[in-house]
């Protein structure tokens, strides 16, 4: 399939965000692994197939050099005969893994080598709702803010959300059910507005969102949440691999072997400017130290995003309670993230609630010394 137009559009979007050509076209090698790939987000037998906190991460490190398996295992104090895996080494929540020696050791390798972390992070539950906002007229002025507000509302009681969406076969809402579907969303929003009122607070964005949903009842359709696969809120994650290939035609991309992804990418038969791109490949993690480093990186990032996706006072309180070891490791992580962002702003890509992303930048600045390039 010819993806030339899509690739050019992605490039134009990057440049529209102020990204210089040098970041897009720099010839360098990116290594990848994934974490949190649930294949798709669906309602089956009345239940969602994943936790509402599910985060998908595709990312890893940019490196000008590599290390051997023996060097990696020695640095981590591991048996040379066994494959290292973050699932064994970094068990627990983000707070818990901050205490682990190999959390620090893997980041120390990255810092000492002068490598950089790159990623695409997707809050899957959030991603399942964004098409609602994109279907409503009048919300084009600040779509990410309204998506974030709706996400907060729908995540408050996931079981209620699942029940409503199942009833209307989301994202295949029949035209005759649009008013009823929107009315149920409005009821959920009203509940939040009422709770805020008890605390003498008013959220203008939420009030505007409610009014826009009321007006949307008169729309002829909700284009992005109709005529889609019933009960499939999010399709497969191959699109994020494809986006890397289309975004970085001049970089060398080394992905971990994922049979489903490899098969679908092959079926795509990607063509750009009349040529099949040859800058990407899939490598077996068991025999590749760089992919194993990426395994640790994406596991840390996934748990970190779940940690951040809470009320800011809760996150602040947990950070203030870090012991010395946790704080040192947290600062190390944020220094590397800050350095990576300064090295190439394209190494950071979120499909996530803007409030969660804002916390990511806030703590990176506070604990990593991040300063934007002038």
Burial 309-323 (b: 16+ CB within 10 A, else e): beeeeebeeebeebe
pLDDT digits (tens, 9 = 90+) for 251-272: 999 999 999 999 999 999 999 9
pLDDT digits (tens, 9 = 90+) for 296-311: 999 999 999 999 999 9
Range from 47-51, 92-96, 113-117, 348-352 carrying the lowest mean pLDDT? 47-51
Of 312, 336, 278, residue with least CA distance to 103: 336
Q: Which band of pLDDT confidence, cut at 50, 70 and 90, is reported for residue 45?
A: confident
Whether 204 has a pLDDT exceeding 90, the answer reads yes
Q: Which band of pLDDT confidence, cut at 50, 70 and 90, is reported for residue 81?
A: low
Q: Which band of pLDDT confidence, cut at 50, 70 and 90, is reported for residue 374?
A: very low
Residue 113 neighbours by CB under 8 Å, 6+ apart: 63, 65, 67
Q: Which two tokens stand for residue 218?
A: 């008169």
pLDDT digits (tens, 9 = 90+) for 211-239: 999 999 999 999 999 999 999 999 999 99
pLDDT of the residue at 370: 66
| Rounded distance between C-alpha atoms, residue 21 and residue 84, angstroms | 37
Burial 338-371 (b: 16+ CB within 10 A, else e): bbbbebbbbbbbbebbbbbbebbbebbeebbebe
Name the pTM for this structure: 0.95
> Per DSSP, which regions of 235-374 are E strands?
252-256, 280-283, 348-351
Q: Which band of pLDDT confidence, cut at 50, 70 and 90, is reported for residue 371?
A: low
pLDDT of the residue at 201: 87
Q: How many CA atoms lie within 13 A of 282 on its CB side?
A: 13
Whether 79 has a pLDDT exceeding 80, the answer reads no
| Over residues 6-35, mean pLDDT | 94
pLDDT digits (tens, 9 = 90+) for 170-186: 999 999 999 999 999 99
| Rounded distance between C-alpha atoms, residue 92 and residue 77, angstroms | 20
Mean pLDDT of the residues in the chain: 94
| Rounded distance between C-alpha atoms, residue 85 and residue 74, angstroms | 14
Range from 74-78, 128-132, 240-244, 370-374 carrying the lowest mean pLDDT? 370-374
Whether 121 has a pLDDT exceeding 80, the answer reads yes
Strand partners for 123: 55
């Amino acid at each position: 399939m010819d993806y030339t137009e899509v690739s050019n559009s992605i490039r134009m979007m990057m440049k529209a965000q102020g990204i210089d050509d040098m970041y897009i076209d720099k010839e360098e090698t990116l290594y990848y692994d994934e974490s949190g790939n649930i294949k798709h987000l669906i309602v089956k037998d009345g239940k969602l197939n994943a936790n509402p906190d599910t985060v998908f991460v595709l990312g890893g490190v940019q490196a000008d050099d590599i290390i051997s398996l023996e060097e990696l295992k020695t640095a981590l104090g591991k048996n040379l005969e066994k494959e290292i895996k973050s699932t064994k080494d970094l068990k627990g929540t983000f707070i818990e893994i901050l205490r682990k020696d190999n959390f620090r050791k893997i980041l120390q390798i990255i810092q000492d080598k002068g490598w950089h972390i790159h990623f695409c992070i997707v809050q899957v539950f959030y991603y399942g709702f964004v098409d609602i906002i994109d279907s409503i007229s009048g919300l084009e002025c600040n779509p990410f803010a309204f998506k974030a507000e709706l996400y907060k509302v729908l995540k408050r009681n996931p079981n209620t959300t699942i029940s409503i969406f199942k009833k209307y076969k989301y994202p295949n809402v029949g035209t005759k059910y649009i008013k009823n579907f929107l009315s149920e969303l409005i009821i959920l929003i009203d509940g939040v507005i009422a709770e805020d009122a008890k605390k003498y607070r008013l959220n203008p964005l939420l009030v505007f969102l409610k009014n826009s949903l009321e007006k949307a009842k008169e729309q002829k359709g909700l284009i992005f949440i109709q005529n889609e696969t019933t009960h499939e809120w999010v399709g497969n994650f191959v699109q994020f691999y494809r986006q890397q290939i289309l975004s970085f035609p001049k970089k060398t991309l080394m992905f971990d072997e994922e049979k489903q992804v490899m098969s679908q990418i092959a079926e795509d038969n990607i063509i750009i400017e009349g040529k099949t791109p040859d800058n990407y490949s899939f490598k077996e993690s068991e025999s590749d130290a760089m992919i194993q480093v990426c395994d640790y990186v994406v596991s840390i990032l996934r748990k970190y995003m779940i940690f951040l996706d809470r009320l800011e006072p809760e996150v602040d309180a947990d950070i203030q309670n870090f012991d010395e070891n946790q704080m040192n490791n947290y600062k190390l992580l944020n220094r590397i993230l800050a350095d990576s962002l300064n090295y190439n702003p394209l190494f950071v890509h979120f499909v996530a609630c803007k409030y969660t992303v804002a916390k990511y930048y806030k703590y990176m600045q506070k604990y990593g010394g991040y300063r934007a390039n002038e």
